[in-house]
């Protein structure tokens, strides 16, 4: 999903937001780099450092475990927040200060029908404004400074208008990007436990769950507990001509992708979950 910004009837590129297959959220700063270097500064020091900007897109990834990787957006190590299924309040993970809206890249094509637009108030004019990107529980009420809200299944992303940063006078015309410090020293829960908790919050149960087939006909079965090794899977259908082929993913033993065949023909379009009679998992201790 591409999020656009509109100011004085002009459309600009702003952010890219997408949910990956492991339910992590990837947010991308949708602006071309101007120049080959980046200046780094800290409120605790007057020193301004410079480094190569590189070619990596400016993005961050918020994983289900609460680990946030900043990739090429800011130069810092990962930060750790609450897992996506365990958010209790709004947490800003990154903020960016824009010298004026017209400095963003103009949208050079027609606005897509599914592209949301953040309408910037005319009263902001040509002034600097600062936006914080926060994650919060889906059922949390929006704070008064919210500019836009994007709801997902168990959480929401908030774009908040926040006070401008204090920065060195020599950087007055720059875009500024600041990453939050996080609330934990490391992951509060393991990756597998976090992914399992996210699944269980989505479906509202702690039992086995099977997600419908994707475009290639691949289902995903979630176990009800963490698994040390990938279990052997037996799935019986009411139509005895159907059989299952498991696509082993040993890195995620609690997520079991599989495909369904009738004879040698793979079934990609029909959702056959209602024909499942029994599921048996066998795993060694």
Residues forming a β-bridge with 5: 12, 118
Tens digits of per-residue pLDDT, 19-36?
987 889 999 999 987 755
Q: Is residue 234 part of a domain?
A: yes
Domain C-terminal end among 145, 160, 191: 191
- Domain of residue 267 covers 207-282
| Distances from the Cα of 138 to the Cα of 15, 61, 75, 87, angstroms | 21, 19, 30, 9
Asked if residue 112 and residue 222 are part of one domain, the reply reads: no
> How sure is the predictor about 63, in pLDDT bands with cuts at 50, 70 and 90?
very high
- Do both 57 and 162 map to the same domain? yes
Same-domain pairing of 109 and 180? yes
Q: Do 179 and 213 sit in the same domain of this protein? A: no
* Same domain for 257 and 231: yes
Burial zone of 262 (CB within 10 Å; 0-12 exposed, 13-18 middle, 19+ buried): middle
In a domain, 202, yes or no: no
Are residues 234 and 94 part of one domain?
no
The residue-averaged pLDDT of 264-277 equals 93
Claim: this prediction has a pTM higher than 0.75: yes
Per the domain annotation, does 201 fall within a domain? no
At residue 167 the predicted structure's pLDDT band, cuts being 50, 70 and 90, is: confident
Tell me whether residue 9 is in a domain.
Answer: yes
* Same-domain pairing of 49 and 153: yes
Is 197 a member of any domain?
no
Question: Within this chain, do residues 13 and 139 fall inside the same structural domain, yes or no?
Answer: yes
Tally the domains of the chain. Answer: 2
Considering only CA atoms, which of 228, 241, 163, 144 is closest in space to residue 193? 228
| Same domain, yes or no: 141 and 231 | no
Residue listed under structure tokens 């599914």: 114
Q: What is the mean pLDDT of residues 77-85?
A: 96
| Residue 49 CB neighbours (<10 A) | 11
Choosing from 191, 215, 246, the residue where a domain stops is 191
pLDDT-derived band at 70, boundaries 50, 70, 90: very high
Based on the domain organization, do 31 and 169 belong to the same domain?
yes
Q: What is the pLDDT of residues 103-157, one digit of tens each?
A: 999 999 999 888 999 999 877 888 999 999 999 999 999 999 999 999 998 999 9
The reply to whether 199 falls in a domain is no
Tell me the C-alpha distance between 227 and 192, whole Å: 9
Residue 124 falls within a domain, yes or no? Answer: yes
Q: What are phi and psi of 192, to 5 degrees?
A: -65, -45
Same domain, 275 and 152: no
Q: Are residues 222 and 185 in the same domain?
A: no
The answer to whether residue 200 sits within a structural domain is no
147, 162, 191 — which closes off a domain? Answer: 191
């Amino acid at each position: 999903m591409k999020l656009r910004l509109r100011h004085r009837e002009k459309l600009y590129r702003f952010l890219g937001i997408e949910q990956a297959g492991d339910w992590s959220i990837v947010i991308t700063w949708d602006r071309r780099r101007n120049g080959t270097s980046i200046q780094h500064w800290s409120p605790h020091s007057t020193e301004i450092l410079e480094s190569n900007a590189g070619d990596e897109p400016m993005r961050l990834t918020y994983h289900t475990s609460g680990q946030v990787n900043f990739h090429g957006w800011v130069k810092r190590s990962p930060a750790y927040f609450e897992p996506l299924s365990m958010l209790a309040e709004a947490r800003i993970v990154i903020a960016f200060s824009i010298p004026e809206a017209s400095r963003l890249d103009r949208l050079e094509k027609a606005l897509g029908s599914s592209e949301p637009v953040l309408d910037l108030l005319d009263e902001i004019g040509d002034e600097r404004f600062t936006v914080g990107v926060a994650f919060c529980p889906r059922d949390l009420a929006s704070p008064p400074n919210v500019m836009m809200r994007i709801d997902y299944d168990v959480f929401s992303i908030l774009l908040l208008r926040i006070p401008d940063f204090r920065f060195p006078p020599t950087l007055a015309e720059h875009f500024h990007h600041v990453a939050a410090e996080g609330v934990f020293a490391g992951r509060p829960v393991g990756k597998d436990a976090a992914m399992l908790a996210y699944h269980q919050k989505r479906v509202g149960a702690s039992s086995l769950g099977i997600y419908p087939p994707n475009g290639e006909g691949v289902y995903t079965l979630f176990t009800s507990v963490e698994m040390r090794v990938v279990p052997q899977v037996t799935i019986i259908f009411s139509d005895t001509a159907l059989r299952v082929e498991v696509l082993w993913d040993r890195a995620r033993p609690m997520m079991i992708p599989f495909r369904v065949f009738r004879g040698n023909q793979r079934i990609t379009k029909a959702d056959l979950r209602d024909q499942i009679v029994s599921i048996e998992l066998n795993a060694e201790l």
